[in-house]
Chains A and B, each alone.
Chain A
Amino acid sequence: MNLADLPAHAVHRRLAGEGLLLHIPPIAVRIRSPMRAFAEQLRTMYSAYEIAEAGTFADIDVRIIPKRSKRLRPLACFIVDGVSPFDPFPRDHALPLLEWGVNWVFAQRMHQYLLLHAAVVERDGAAVLLPAWPGSGKSTLAASLACRGWRYLSDEFGVVVPSTLSVLPFPRPAALKNESIDVMRSFAPDAFIGPIFPKTRKGSVAHLRVPSPSVRRARDPARITAVFFPDFQAGAPVSVRPLSQSTAFLKLAHNAFNYEMLGETAFRTVAAIVRAVPCRIIRYGDLEAAHLQIEILMKEPAHAPA
């Protein structure tokens, strides 16, 4: 049963009671919260996700709970394992708080995988890593590709099975910030974008809902065949620059969530990736042009899945 199959009042009741258990491959997440508005937003953004059976092991178990505030604005806390690890958010930013908190917990607990900081999309069996770096625009690029027939695996985590080139989906709503929100609306008017949360730490934030076909295939791994470092520059024409293997290695390793933790395993896995697939920087000022360039590149034999 998907979340959409559960009426709104039932979602709210579960969240406020024993918790809502969702499959978000590769994990199951239990969420508890008494907040009705949050329940509605959650139901909307995760409508295509499968509800896990009662008695499923929740890899991550979180609560979003209102907190009284001495100042005027009501707050909400993120709680995991009986502690509140960060400052509360404004209460009406409960959804971004959940997203941020789940990312934080995931990055700390999943050391059975190498967690690269990258968006991941896939087509015809070939997965493309879009690593994060400031100003890269990776989330917007990944979201736009997802709206044009690419399977969306993640906008934040390249979940790599160690010592392989296999990447697992961990599909979550794609975070769009500030101007990207309008850019996405024009680019894909039919895409579902959730409410805008103004004045977060990162400015205005909204989320692209993960397209249902990508959610349905969330248990299917893909093989990494390309690493494209996106470099968004407003007004820039598209250009592609190859990276040396060692430069690509350092960028991927430096940016990974748990490279340090995994030690030699991470070292060997990243080395295998940069030796097996071409690593490039794609500078672009316009999404359509970037897409076209990616299409061209993906036709090269080097990017064919094995």
Chain B
Amino acid sequence: MTAVRDLTWRIAPGQRLVFEDMDDGVLLYDSLVGRTHLLNATAAETLTVLERNPGLTSDAIRRHVTEALDLPVDALPLSAVEELLDWFERLGILVAR
């Protein structure tokens, strides 16, 4: 069984994500399950990063996201990223290998 740190993440097969920017967040429509979610900037950026770069580890995702949001890497704990990824996996939005 792969250690959590070594898992690679990608958008779930058959998934199509639809984003709508709001003044205070990003709305996401998950067309696989047919559900609507409200995301904060970190969550939205995480999905954008994975759409462009499938197969990243949690650490790599953390670096991409903090860079895109113009934050120091320490501003986003790795545990928070992994919790978010886990959440997305349970929702059927991401898969891990």
Contact = CB atoms under 8 A, between A and B. Distances in A.
In their complex, do chains A and B touch, with some C-beta pair under 8 Å?
yes
Q: From DSSP, what is the main secondary structure of chain A's interface residues? A: helix
B22 A253 contact: no
Nearest to A259: B36
A253 B34 CA distance: 13
Contact of A267 (B18, B23, B24): B18
The 7 closest A-B pairs by CB, nearest first: A245-B22, A271-B20, A267-B29, A244-B24, A246-B22, A246-B25, A245-B23
Contacts of B18: 264, 267-268
B27 interface: yes
The interface residues of chain B, by DSSP majority, are classed as strand
Interface residues of A, number: 15
Contacts of A244: 22-25
A263 B27 contact: no
B79 interface: no
B22 A275 contact: yes
A263 B23 contact: no
Interface string A239-253: 000001111011001
A268 B38 CA distance: 14
Contacts of B34: 260, 263
Interface of B: 18, 20, 22-25, 27, 29, 31, 34, 36, 38
Nearest to B24: A244
Nearest to B34: A263
5 contacts: A244-B24, A246-B22, A253-B36, A268-B18, A275-B22
* Most chain A CB within a 10 A radius of its CB, from B20, B24, B38: B20
B87 to A, nearest CB: 18
